[in-house]
Amino acid sequence: MVTLPEISEALSAHPGVRRAETAIVRHDDRDVAIAAVEPTGYVSGLILRNHVRRELGEDSGLAGVLIVEHMPMTDGAVDVEYLASAVAEGRCILFEDPRDDVERRVAAIWSAQMDLRSVGVNDDFLELGGDSLSALGIIAAIETEFGRPLDVYEFMSAANVRRLAEILR
């Protein structure tokens, strides 16, 4: 079992991270591990979350990384209430597995084209590090897999696996 300090430590080892704190947050009646990160420059939460999953394993338990300007602290510890409200407001993308076959097929195409071990259904294409090349690769693979045309605007406005699966259903 990976501990919260181990997650913070793995994050701090990333060159884009100045400071990282991890806490358990209550969201939708379950406990999720959320890390807050002060970056040194621009780095997305998803890049950092995937970094932790690569370093500590896919089962590290880290659900999301929230990028903050300044570490929210209260009484010498990271402010769990602040993290909970950020998650509730949708400011922190949480990892979620596909829930049906269409989402699974779309997520598999994203993983293959972007060379990622796993893609959550809410993960934003650009925050995952997507570029024009991977966009065109995904579009071509989806057109083949689902036998329908998909233009680059539809793809970009969907921006994640779940919304893209809705278009394709």
Partner 1 sequence: MVLSVRRRIADTARAEPDRTALVGFGTDLGQQVMSWREFADRVADAADALGAALDRRTRSCAVVLAGNTLPAAIGIAAALTAEVPVFPLNPGTPPAERDALLGLLGRRFGHGYLMDAQLRPQRMDLPAGPEPPAAAEGPGQLNTVAYLLATGASTGIPKISARPGPLRYDPARTPSVVIRQAGWRSGQRQLIVGPLYHAAPFSAFLDALLDSNTVVLQPFFSAQWTVELVRRYAIEWLQLTPAHMREILRLPDPDPAGFASLRAMLHTAARCDADTKRGWIDLLGPERVFELYGATEGIGVTLVRGDEWLARPGTVGRGFLTQIRILDDAGHPIPPGTTGTVFMRTPQRIGRSDYVNGRAIRTTLDGFATVGDHGRLDRDGYLYLEPRDHDTINVGGEKVDPDEVEAALRDHPAVIDAVAVAVPHQTLGSVVAAHIVLRPGASVRKAELAAHCGRRLAGYKIPKHFTFVDQVPRSAAGKIQRWRLAPYHQNGATPP
Task: For the CB of residue 153, give the shortest distance to partner 1 in the complex, in Å.
Answer: 5
Q: Which residue has the tokens 């890390």?
A: 35
Q: Is 157 in the site for partner 1 (CB under 8 A)?
A: yes
What's phi and psi for 38, nearest 5 deg? -95, 115
Could you say whether residue 69 binds partner 1 (CB under 8 A)? yes
Site map 70..109 versus partner 1, x via CB under 8 A: ----------------------------------------
Closest by CA to 52, choosing from 113, 5, 99, is 5
Strands 62-67 and 73-74: unpaired
* Cβ pair 12, 39 in contact under 8 A: no
Residues that bind partner 1 (CB under 8 A): 39, 41-42, 44-45, 67-69, 126-127, 130-133, 135-136, 152-153, 156-157, 159
